[in-house]
Amino acid sequence: TESATQRAGQSETERAHNTESTRQKEHDRESVTERARPRERVTERPRRRETAAEGDRGGGRARRRESAAEGERGRGRARQRESAAEGERGRGRARQRERAAEGERGRGRARQKASVTEKEGQRESATERESVTERERQRKRDRGRARQRERDRGRATERARQRESATERARQRERDRESATEKARQRKRDRESATEKARQRESDRERATERERQRESDRGRAT
């Protein structure tokens, strides 16, 4: 846009310059013609007064033409300055538009960067949420494994108690068997002792009977 505006301003300036140059060439030709006329009037002595008057009139016309040309040149320069100013204004507007476009592009880049930053932030937030979720899942898994280990320890302790209880029951059964054996032995000893006592009593009775017969025999012989 600025390049097109610059080219338009340059074209306008060039046209104004060409127009001014054309006018200047025309004025130069008229000046040359006007300067040639007095030399012709010098050769015409009889018409000196008329020529002088004509020259005055011609000089007036030349001055008027000069003034007109000068005014035209002034107007050309003014137009040129106006064209240059317009071109400058156009370039200023183009620069302004370019700055606005650049600002817009900058804002667009800023928005893009902000969007990228926002997306990155969203990704980071999603990653952070996923990380938090994963950590929470890991904590749950750890708590689950800890509870499982606790249950395993409880079951192992219970099995150990059961084994200890079984061992104790086995020991008790062994003690009971030993006690029963000892009781059986004691009963056998008691029976043997009772038998021995019974034999002793029988022997004592037999001895008593024998003593009684002996006393009877002794009394019979004495009689």
DSSP summary character for residue 46: G
Residue 50 confidence (pLDDT) above 70: no
pLDDT of res. 168? 96
Give yes or no for a contact between 12 and 86, defined as CB atoms under 8 angstroms apart. yes
Nearest-angstrom CA–CA distance, 104 and 111? 10
What are all long-range contacts of 70-77, with beta carbons under 8 Å and residues at least 24 apart? Answer: 72/23, 73/20, 73/23, 73/24, 76/16, 76/19, 76/20, 76/23, 77/20
Residue 44 confidence (pLDDT) above 60: no
What is the model's pTM? 0.33
Q: Which two tokens stand for residue 95?
A: 């620069």
Q: DSSP for 128-144?
A: HHHHHHHHHHHHHHHHH
Q: Which two tokens stand for residue 44?
A: 């015409």
pLDDT tens sequence across 194-219: 999 999 999 999 999 998 888 888 88
Greater model confidence, 152 or 28: 152
Nearest-angstrom CA–CA distance, 141 and 131? 15
Residue that has been written with the tokens 């301003």 in this structure:
9
